């Protein structure tokens, strides 16, 4: 059940060094698990803690949104945002990444949009609202359809995607990522 009061207050903000401690609090709430949508795969937790390295990472992630930035061959341009509630905008609830296009890995496993909501903020409609906002970002990028994926056993994420218009295309096995549900969302619907 989506908490509409919460959903109406959810905002996506650009990562900023001013929220370094809030980001660490959010990211480390996941423990040793993978942080979907956080784009922290290229930086160690020790580097995230260091203010200078964190600032360099924030700047690097901002550059990924700029289509003029030359990226490594295995990367695509993406817009990284942090999820906040406008009532407490200095507490980060999660992170979401809107990829501008798909490479082979993203087509098969990762999708256009990846997101993660900190465990203490789940079951309140945060992910559903954040995904809705990321779909608006995708529209501004000119995307007509987006692929959103989740682990087959992640029922909450599957429901989040379905609430945002996701239509299941298939369920695939990935050697490194287990069983993945692949949903397409038509952005032209309702226009």
Place of tokens 């996941």: 30
The encoded tokens of residue 57 equal 């990472």
Instruction: Kindly state whether residue 27 falls inside one of the protein's structural domains.
Output: yes
Nearest alpha carbon to residue 23 among 3, 5, 42, 50: 50
Instruction: Kindly state whether residue 191 falls inside one of the protein's structural domains.
Output: no
Instruction: Kindly state whether residue 179 falls inside one of the protein's structural domains.
Output: yes
pTM of the model: 0.92
Q: What is the pLDDT of residues 36-91, one digit of tens each?
A: 889 998 899 999 999 999 999 999 999 999 999 999 988 999 999 999 999 999 99
Instruction: Kindly state whether residue 143 falls inside one of the protein's structural domains.
Output: yes
- Confidence category of residue 7, pLDDT binned at 50, 70, 90: confident
> 172 or 34: which carries more pLDDT confidence?
172
Instruction: Kindly state whether residue 127 falls inside one of the protein's structural domains.
Output: yes
Element (H, E) at 182: strand 178-186
Contacts of 113 (CB under 8 A, 6+ apart): 37, 96, 97, 98, 99, 131, 134, 135, 138, 146, 148
Contacts of 157 (CB under 8 A, 6+ apart): 127, 150, 151
Q: 102: domain CATH number?
A: 3.40.630.30
The encoded tokens of residue 101 equal 């296009």
Tell me the backbone φ, ψ of residue 60, rounded to 5 degrees.
-60, -45
**Domain with 85 in it:** 4-186
What domain count does the chain have? 1
């Amino acid at each position: 059940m989506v908490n509409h009061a919460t959903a109406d207050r959810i905002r996506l903000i650009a990562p900023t060094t001013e929220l370094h401690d809030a980001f660490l609090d959010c990211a480390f709430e996941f423990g040793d698990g993978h942080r979907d949508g956080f784009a922290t795969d290229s930086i160690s937790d020790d580097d995230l803690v260091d203010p200078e390295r964190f600032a360099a990472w924030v700047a690097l992630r901002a550059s990924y949104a700029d289509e003029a930035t030359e990226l490594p061959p295995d990367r695509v341009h993406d817009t990284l945002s942090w999820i906040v509630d406008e009532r407490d905008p200095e507490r980060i609830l999660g992170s979401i990444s809107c990829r501008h296009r798909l490479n082979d890995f993203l087509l098969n496993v990762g999708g256009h949009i990846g997101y993660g909501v900190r465990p203490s903020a789940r079951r309140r409609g945060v992910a559903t609202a954040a995904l809705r906002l990321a779909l608006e970002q995708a529209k501004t990028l000119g995307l007509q359809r987006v692929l959103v994926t989740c682990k087959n056993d992640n029922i909450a994420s599957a429901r989040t995607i379905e609430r945002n218009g996701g239509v299941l295309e298939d369920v695939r096995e990935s050697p490194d990522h287990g069983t993945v549900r692949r949903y397409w969302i038509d952005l032209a619907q309702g226009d």
